[in-house]
């Protein structure tokens, strides 16, 4: 006690003593503690014992130096509005990160807890990550927990061979299972995100292709003229997407020259040319989303639209057929049940008549 490192309050007019390990004491001001932590505030609000030695708050189970650092940080926070500026780390936090995380969690000092999480996350190693992860779980620090899981996922082989992981396997297999489950969940989430990104990319490419297709057919591009009109304008300045346009124009040229046509019709179907098929699909997709009133400049658009209309009608007719069949079946089932009821009724009446006759006889 006495020097500035163990006595952050300076000692004068301190009204509370913090008791740490080996009965060491740190004099502090109750107003500073109460302002910094709601937990300490409620502890200080409790009535004092009469004839006691003044207010004493025990903070045990943590090294004395770490408690000193904690108190010093609470005092330093008093002078600023936002005590822990992002990216700026107090030396105490770097030195006593683990213990300060526990203290800031127990005494609910939010800004210090976040600073400790950041400090610990920036020092994570494969050797120590399991211990920090366990600490993050105990101190309800999800951000730090996630950082630990990421490191384990990234470097699982190295983490698996550490002493800490083996200790975990031997002493807390449920936690090990939980971590592995979290890793798998994270992996699946990542996979799902990647798939979604890939899908979005495909949709964007298709939508660009649709735009280019319309532009080529309506205005013409560098190599293909507008449909039904003269040569290509060869002016790429108005092109919505030169790379996509180039690919599409190559497909269009290919369709005209493809030797698929030279094969007999049966083989044409069997060995469908993938490039022709691709253009075919793009034309079909265009007609499915085309809102252009007829005649649309894109080839086959109105034909595809007609075909779609026909299939829709056919489907509706099929649905109608199914409905009619259902109605017919329900109606005939009703007739059958009526008949059965009548027969039963007749049977009972016959039996009654027979019994009456017997009684008369
Ligand atoms: Zn173009
Ligand atoms: Zn082809
Ligand atoms: Zn169209």
CATH T-level topology, domain 1-123: Potassium Channel Kv1.1; Chain A (3.30.710)
Distance (angstroms) between ligand 1 centre and the Cα of 246 equals 7
Distance (angstroms) between ligand 3 centre and the Cα of 227 equals 12
221: tokens are 């591009």
Class of residue 144 by CB neighbours under 10 A (exposed 0-12, middle 13-18, buried 19+): buried
Cβ atoms 138, 146 nearer than 8 A = no
pLDDT in tens, 65-91: 999 999 999 998 766 545 554 557 888
Q: What pLDDT does 1 receive?
A: 40
Q: What pLDDT does 70 receive?
A: 95
- Whether 1-123 and 195-264+273-299 share one fold: the answer is no
- Which residue in the block uniquely carries the two structure tokens 């800004």? 111
pLDDT at 5 over 50: no
pLDDT in tens, 284-343: 999 988 888 778 889 889 899 889 889 888 888 888 888 888 888 887 787 787 788 788
Nearest ligand atom owner, CA of 251: 2
Region 85-114: what's the mean pLDDT?
A: 88
Distance (angstroms) between ligand 2 centre and the Cα of 271 equals 10
Tell me which of 92-106, 130-144, 178-192, 215-229 is least confident: 215-229
pLDDT at 171 over 50: yes
CA distance 306 to 309: 5
pLDDT at 50 over 80: no
259: tokens are 């030797």
pLDDT at 6 over 80: no
pLDDT in tens, 174-188: 999 999 999 999 889
Choose which CATH entry (1.20.1020, 2.70.70, 1.10.3470, 3.40.1710) describes domain 195-264+273-299: 1.20.1020
Question: Closest by alpha carbon to 122, among 89, 79, 159?
Answer: 89
Element (H, E) at 26: strand 25-28
Distance (angstroms) between ligand 1 centre and the Cα of 251 equals 13
pLDDT at 19 over 90: yes
pLDDT in tens, 141-153: 999 999 999 999 9
- Which residue in the block uniquely carries the two structure tokens 């003044």? 54
Domain boundary assignment for the chain: 1-123, 195-264+273-299, 308-336
CA torsion, ordered 53, 57, 61, 63, to nearest 10 deg? -90
Q: Which residues pair with 18 in a beta bridge?
A: 26, 57
Q: What pLDDT does 11 receive?
A: 57
Distance (angstroms) between ligand 3 centre and the Cα of 235 equals 23
CA torsion, ordered 141, 142, 147, 153, to nearest 10 deg? 130
CA distance 115 to 144: 11
Distance (angstroms) between ligand 3 centre and the Cα of 237 equals 24
ipTM: 0.95
Distance (angstroms) between ligand 3 centre and the Cα of 288 equals 8
């Amino acid at each position: 006690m006495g020097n500035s490192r163990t006595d952050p309050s300076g000692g004068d007019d301190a009204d509370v003593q913090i008791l740490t390990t080996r009965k060491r004491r740190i004099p502090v001001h109750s107003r500073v503690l109460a302002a910094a932590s709601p937990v300490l505030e409620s502890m200080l609000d409790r009535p004092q014992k009469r004839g006691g030695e003044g207010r004493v708050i025990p903070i045990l189970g943590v090294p004395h130096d770490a408690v000193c650092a904690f108190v010093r940080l609470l005092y330093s926070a008093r002078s600023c509005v936002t005590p822990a500026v992002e990216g700026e780390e107090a030396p105490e936090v770097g030195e006593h990160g683990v213990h300060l995380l526990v203290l800031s969690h127990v005494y609910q000092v939010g800004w210090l807890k976040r600073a400790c999480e950041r400090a610990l996350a920036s020092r994570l190693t494969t050797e120590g990550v399991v211990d920090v992860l366990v600490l993050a779980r105990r101190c309800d620090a999800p951000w730090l927990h996630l950082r630990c899981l990421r490191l384990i996922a990234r470097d699982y082989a190295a983490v698996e061979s550490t002493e800490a992981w083996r200790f975990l396997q031997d002493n807390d297999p449920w936690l090990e299972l939980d971590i592995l489950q979290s890793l798998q969940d994270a992996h699946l989430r990542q996979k799902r995100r990647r798939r979604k990104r890939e899908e979005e990319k495909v949709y964007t490419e298709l939508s660009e292709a649709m735009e280019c297709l319309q532009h080529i057919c309506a205005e013409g591009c560098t190599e293909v003229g507008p449909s039904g009109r003269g040569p290509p304008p060869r002016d790429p300045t108005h092109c919505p997407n030169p790379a996509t346009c180039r690919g599409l124009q190559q497909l269009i040229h290919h369709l005209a020259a493809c030797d698929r046509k030279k094969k007999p019709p049966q083989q044409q179907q069997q060995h469908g040319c993938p490039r022709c098929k691709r253009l075919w699909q793009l034309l079909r997709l265009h007609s499915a989303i085309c809102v252009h009133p007829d005649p649309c400049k894109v080839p086959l658009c109105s034909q595809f639209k007609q075909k779609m209309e026909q299939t829709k009608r056919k489907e509706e007719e099929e649905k109608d057929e199914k409905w009619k069949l259902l109605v017919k079946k329900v109606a005939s089932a009703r007739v059958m049940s009526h008949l059965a009821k009548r027969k039963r009724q007749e049977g009972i009446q016959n039996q009654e008549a027979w019994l009456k006759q017997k009684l008369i006889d």
